[in-house]
Amino acid sequence: MNPDALPIPPLPLASPQAFLRHLYEVAVQRALPLHNTAAWLPVPPDPAKGRTLVLGAGKAAGAMAHAVEALWPAHCQRQGVPGAPLSGLVVTRYGHTPPRPDGVVPCIDVVEAAHPVPDEAGLVAARRIMALAQGHEGTPLTGHDLVLCLISGGGSALLTLPCEGLTLADKQRINRQLLDSGADITQMNTVRKHLSAIKGGRLAAACFPARVVTLTISDVPGDDVSVIASGPTVADASTCADALQILKQYKIDVPALVAKNLHNAVLETPKPGDPRLLHGGHPHPVYLMATPQQSLEAAAQAARAAGLNAYILSDEIEGESREVGKVHAALARSTADGKTAFQTPCVILSGGETTVTIQPREPDSPKGRGGRAGEFCMGLALALQGHPRIWALAADTDGIDGVENNAGARLSPDTLARAGQLGLTLRDHLARNDACGFFEPLGDLVVTGPTHTNVNDFRAMLVL
């Protein structure tokens, strides 16, 4: 569906939460692969000389593969090479494979694996993808072949192929520790690149001498293509020393052989200028099909179409989720009081990727459930203290906040009052990172199911 075709709900005064949900849906629609792929498809190879192999990973990889299958025949016809063959394999998260569009002939295998902690299925998929790239599963690639790589957020966990000296169990443990540490996405992916046999440009290097074109959907602040899914097709400027420093900073142990190989730079990634990452003397192109900023701009346009002012803070906001929530609350309160340049009634939007540092649990305390968006909303609620003119929604654009089945949460002026009636204490839930335990009894979780795209955090505050 075209974002412009989404019906505008009643004005915010009538239903603030319905309106914020509408803005979220507009943002998601803007990032769907079928809307964004056609303009970026590369020139197909001459069918008499070469073929097109599609490889990919990420939460949107299934939808991206289906979009390529749907658009490829007409694209080849326009390019004057009808019948150019297409095959390949992508891996996406469990439950994130959408139905193929009607009438589309399957050409690309789509398999599923675990996220955010990798599993055996992801390992098998990564081995198969690497085998296809190296010509061990089929015909070896040549300089006449095209490898079309479809990369989106989540690919770091889904495309798991441990380096020498590292087991899958080791990778799982390190991944969990990174997720709980409070490390930002760039730090996490610096470590992941250097502990992998496929990320950090290694997949593209394995495809040499073929032409490699990468289409990607960004889920990282700043749209750094070397960070998205740990950049499997992109030269990596980070070093083994950087990875070691991050592991030390967050007190994460690795096996002795791996530590030695990091120290000796044995696990170094392909760097800019590596001839394996060039074709015809030029670096392999990488195209951003959809970005967080584009989705925020679509939501802002929808708000303005409903008669509201709309302001985008940034698509690159990082930091501890609850603290980011408190800062957003201060801005919203000041706006409501006429102390900022933002004119009410308005919507204030932001994106990026915040982090959650898991707090130590008290003995016998239940384990918290939730993710970045829910944690943000708890910090926001604590700082707003039921402000009568502010509503908010925060959700991950992939439809999954952390590892639960909700995308995020919503906040109203009466949230704390309703929580009190149910005996819910916000500070207790914050202390154990339990956003689901707080918002679920209130009916204030945002549940969408997998959206088949991923441009990261979406946050919207409505100030009347």
- Which are the contacts of 23, defined by CB distance < 8 A and separation ≥ 6? 299, 302, 303, 347, 349, 393, 460
Q: Which amino acid makes up residue 106?
A: P
pLDDT at 245 over 90: yes
Q: Which amino acid makes up residue 197?
A: A
Mean pLDDT of the 212-219 span: 97
pLDDT at 301 over 60: yes
Residue 2 or residue 273, greater confidence: 273
Beta bridge partners of 188: none
pLDDT at 4 over 60: no
The 10s digit of each residue's pLDDT in 349-364 is 999 999 999 888 777 7
Share of the chain above pLDDT 90, in %: 89
Residue 72 CB coordination number (10 Å): 24
Question: In terms of Cα–Cα distance, which of 38, 83, 57, 42 is closest to 279?
Answer: 42
What CA–CA distance (Å, rounded) separates 151 from 133?
15
CA angle 246, 291, 310 (to 5 degrees): 110
- Predicted confidence band at 182 (pLDDT cuts at 50, 70, 90)? confident
Mean pLDDT of the 278-300 span: 96
pLDDT at 5 over 60: no
DSSP 112-126: EE-SSS--HHHHHHH
Q: Is 443 helix (H, G, I), strand (E, B) or coil?
A: coil
- Predicted confidence band at 110 (pLDDT cuts at 50, 70, 90)? very high
The 10s digit of each residue's pLDDT in 377-401 is 999 999 999 999 999 999 999 999 9
Mean of the per-residue pLDDT values of the chain: 94
pLDDT at 3 over 60: no
**CATH number 3.40.50.10180 is the correct assignment for the domain at 36-161+196-235+270-290:** yes
**CATH number 3.40.50.1820 is the correct assignment for the domain at 292-463:** no
Residues 88, 93, 96, 99: what is their CA dihedral angle, to the nearest 10 degrees?
A: 30
What CA–CA distance (Å, rounded) separates 30 from 297?
9
Question: In terms of Cα–Cα distance, which of 391, 418, 406, 412 is closest to 446?
Answer: 406
Tell me if 363 sits within 8 A of 355, measured CB to CB. Answer: no
Q: Are strands 286-290 and 282-283 parallel, antiparallel or unpaired?
A: unpaired
Torsion sign across C-alpha atoms 25, 223, 67, 39: positive
The 10s digit of each residue's pLDDT in 18-70 is 999 999 999 999 999 998 999 999 999 999 999 999 999 999 999 999 999 99
Backbone angles phi, psi at 362, to 5 degrees: -70, 150
What strands, in cross-sheet order, belong to the sheet with 211-217?
108-113, 86-93, 52-57, 146-152, 211-217, 286-290
pLDDT at 202 over 50: yes
pLDDT at 241: 97
DSSP H helices, 250-371, are 256-263, 292-305, 321-336
Tell me if 55 sits within 8 A of 147, measured CB to CB. Answer: yes
Residue 414, token pair as written in the block: 């009466």
Mean pLDDT of the 97-110 span: 93
Mean pLDDT of the 190-212 span: 97
What CA–CA distance (Å, rounded) separates 257 from 250?
19
Residue 125, token pair as written in the block: 């998929």
pLDDT at 1: 43
Assess whether the previous peptide bond of 209 is cis (omega < 30° from 0): yes
Domain ranges of the chain: 36-161+196-235+270-290, 292-463
pLDDT at 404: 85
The 10s digit of each residue's pLDDT in 403-443 is 789 999 999 999 999 999 999 999 999 999 999 999 999 99
